[in-house]
Each structure stands twice: as structure tokens, then as C-alpha cells.
């Protein structure tokens, strides 16, 4: 798994189910892998390092027992305020997930150790400057979080972001930001990325850890219901308008940025994290609460229809051009 092509060959669709706070867990990871896409979860969803130990072991055991070879990933916050970072990383070294995704901090301190056990490291970045630093740290791939992503979001257009990164990085490229359909997955490849990073599309699934009310709010929402604000975590993120209202905020007049502090991510006592719900701009792609297997099957069908349509249009353009030459 040392190249983009060797990784994508293991997938039934070039998709990674993105790690989502308080949403992704072992069932989501295993069922995503069963469906042929990369499953993932953030370490802080396991409320203690001991629970994380259990989750990582459970995922490995379930996949091994079913002889599922689709790779999976774990997401680790590397920001200095995340107090559990070192403990969580020790659990990663114990269980050796194939892919480690770093977020909100430098990956430099862990790349060599992940490589030592045969894993790869992907760095979650929101701009070319951070991407260059990650490349210097010898990561194996980049996760580009562009505008429209759920939770902590980027600000660059995916068209601009991919184009600029490809000027200096030809390795594995994962692209996120408002992607919720098979057509959008194909578009990420057309732009030059290798794998699409989908989070919001998997919120209203049977395997999701979140409340049924959260799932239904995603199903009932569209892009107009998504509000970007840094008032909740100190980092710009996309939130569902109604959940902000339910949490006592005015979505049209949000407070100034909160102080960045991910210490509270290790526990559920902080109401902000629990009851204010994130979603990306592709939220309207979800129309029902359903199992991951059905979501992936829908994505595959959309992807194939879009690919066939694109090829037909290309053929039509070629035929039209040839006819004009003859005339």
C-alpha cells in the first residue's frame, strides 16, 4: 500500500468514510470495509484509552474473521491541547491500523513509527502551506479539506486546492468538502484526486453512533441549513442551523471565535460537543436513514451512471468535431 494505485485497487469505489466526532465507531468502520470502501473513526470517540484499546482490537478481529482486506483508518488529533494524544498513539502502535490520519497538528512525530509497523500516514490539511509542511514530514498522502466540508472545514475551492497541491505533490491525494454523491466522487478523480472523503453522507446510517434526531435533521436539511462558525471549537466548522438554535445560538449572529482547546474532546461533559451538530454542504444527498451497504451501493450506481454519461458525451463531441472537419 505504498502508492495511490495500490490503495485504490483494494476498493470497490474510491471513497473513504471520513472520521466523524461522536459518529464513527467500530460498526461503521467494519461495515464500510465490508462494502469495499475505507472505514475510519477518530480516537476520541472511544471515551478512554482502554475503550480505544477494545475498539481497535475489535475492528481487527472482525475484519480478520471475515477475511476482509479493505484497509481502514484511525484519525488522531495531534494538536497540543489534546491531552490524550500520546496514550491514543500507543494504542495505535499496539493494534497497527493500516492508515493513520493526523488532524489539527503536525504529523512529524509519528510518521516513522507508523512506517515501522507497515502503516501509512495521511495528513489532514486545509491549505497548501500546511500541505507542504506535511510533505516535509514524509507523510504518505494528503487529505485536502476544502470548503463545504462538515465539522472542521476548509476555505479553498476543491478545484483550486487540488490544482495547487498537484504542482508539488504527485502522491496519494484524498479530497473532502461537500461530496455526497457518486457523481461528485467521479468529479474528484477528474480534478486529479485519488479518493473522495465523505462524512456527512454517512451520518444518517444505521451504524452511526449519533442520536436519531441528528440523523433525521441531516435527512431533512439542505445546503441552506449549513452555517459556518468558529464560535463552537475555535476552528471554523459547518453546523446545522437548527441545532445551533436548539443550543441557544443565533445562527445569523454567532459569537466571536472560541479558544482552540480539544481537551474536552476526550469527554462528553461539554454540551457544545454533544448537542450542536455538524454537517457539510452536501447534506441534501441524504434522503433517508439507511445501512451503509445501501449508501455505498447508491454511490456505486451514481458513479457508474455518471461515468457512462461522461464517456457518451465525449464520444458525441469527437463525432461532432469529425463531422465539422469533413464539412
State which CATH number among 3.40.50.300, 3.30.200.20, 3.20.20.70, 3.40.50.1100 fits the domain covering 4-211+281-317. Answer: 3.20.20.70
Largest Cα–Cα distance of the chain, in whole Å? Answer: 74
What is the model's pLDDT at position 18? 98
Task: Note the pLDDT of residue 57.
Answer: 98
Which strands sit side by side in the sheet containing 237-240, from one edge to the other?
151-152, 237-240, 226-229
Cell of 234: 475555535
Q: Residue 46 corresponds to which cell in the numbers above?
A: 472511544
Distances in Å between the Cα of 139 and the Cα atoms of 15, 87, 110, 117, 285 are 20, 21, 10, 15, 32
pLDDT score for 14: 97
pLDDT of residue 151: 86
**pTM of the predicted protein model:** 0.91
Which residues of the chain fall below pLDDT 50? 1-2, 268-270
Give the span between the Cα atoms of 152 and 14, in whole angstroms.
22
Long-range contacts, stretch 123-131, CB < 8 angstroms, 24+ apart: 124/75, 126/153, 126/154, 126/155, 126/156, 127/154, 127/155, 127/156, 127/161, 128/161, 128/164, 128/165, 131/165, 131/169
81, with CB counted inside 10 A (0-12, 13-18, 19+), is: middle
Query: What length is written for the chain?
Result: 327
Query: What pLDDT, on the 0 to 100 scale, is given for residue 258?
Result: 76
What is the DSSP code (8-state) at residue 183?
Answer: H
pLDDT value for 314: 75
- Residue 68: predicted pLDDT: 97
Model pLDDT for residues 274-292, shown as the tens digit of each residue:
789 999 999 999 999 999 9
Nearest CA among 64, 46, 10, 70 for reference residue 266:
46
Instruction: Express each pLDDT in 210-229 by its tens digit.
Output: 999 999 999 999 999 999 99
Amino acid at each position: 500500500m505504498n502508492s495511490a494505485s495500490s490503495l485504490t485497487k483494494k476498493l470497490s469505489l474510491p471513497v473513504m468514510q471520513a472520521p466523524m466526532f461522536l459518529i464513527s465507531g467500530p460498526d461503521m468502520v467494519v461495515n464500510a470495509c465490508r462494502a469495499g470502501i475505507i472505514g475510519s473513526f477518530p480516537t476520541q470517540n472511544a471515551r478512554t484509552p482502554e475503550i480505544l484499546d477494545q475498539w481497535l482490537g475489535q475492528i481487527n478481529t472482525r475484519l480478520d474473521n471475515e477475511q476482509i482486506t479493505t484497509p481502514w483508518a484511525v484519525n488522531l488529533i495531534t494538536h497540543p491541547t489534546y491531552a490524550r494524544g500520546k496514550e491514543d498513539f500507543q494504542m495505535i502502535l499496539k493494534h497497527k491500523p493500516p492508515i493513520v490520519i493526523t488532524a489539527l497538528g503536525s504529523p512529524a512525530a509519528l510518521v516513522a513509527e507508523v512506517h515501522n509497523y507497515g502503516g501509512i500516514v495521511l495528513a489532514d490539511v486545509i491549505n497548501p502551506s500546511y500541505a507542504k509542511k506535511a510533505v516535509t514530514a514524509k507523510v504518505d498522502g494528503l487529505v485536502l479539506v476544502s470548503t463545504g466540508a462538515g465539522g472542521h472545514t476548509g476555505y479553498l475551492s476543491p478545484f483550486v486546492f487540488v490544482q495547487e497541491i498537484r504542482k508539488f505533490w504527485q502522491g496519494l491525494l484524498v479530497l473532502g468538502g461537500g461530496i455526497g454523491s457518486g457523481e461528485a466522487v467521479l468529479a474528484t478523480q477528474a480534478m486529479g484526486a485519488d479518493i473522495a472523503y465523505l462524512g456527512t453522507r454517512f451520518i444518517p446510517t444505521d451504524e452511526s453512533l449519533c442520536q436519531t434526531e441528528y440523523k433525521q435533521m441531516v435527512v431533512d436539511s439542505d445546503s441552506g441549513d449549513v452555517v459556518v462558525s468558529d464560535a463552537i471549537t475555535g476552528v471554523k466548522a459547518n453546523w446545522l442551523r437548527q441545532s445551533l438554535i436548539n443550543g441557544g445560538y443565533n445562527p445569523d449572529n454567532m459569537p466571536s471565535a472560541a479558544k482552540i482547546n480539544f481537551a474536552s474532546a476526550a469527554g462528553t461533559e461539554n454540551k457544545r460537543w454533544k448537542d450542536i451538530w455538524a454537517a457539510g454542504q452536501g447534506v441534501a444527498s441524504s434522503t433517508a436513514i439507511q445501512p451503509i451497504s445501501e449508501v455505498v451501493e447508491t454511490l456505486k450506481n451514481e458513479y457508474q451512471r455518471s461515468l457512462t454519461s461522461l464517456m457518451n458525451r465525449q464520444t458525441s463531441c469527437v463525432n461532432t468535431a469529425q463531422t465539422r472537419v469533413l464539412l
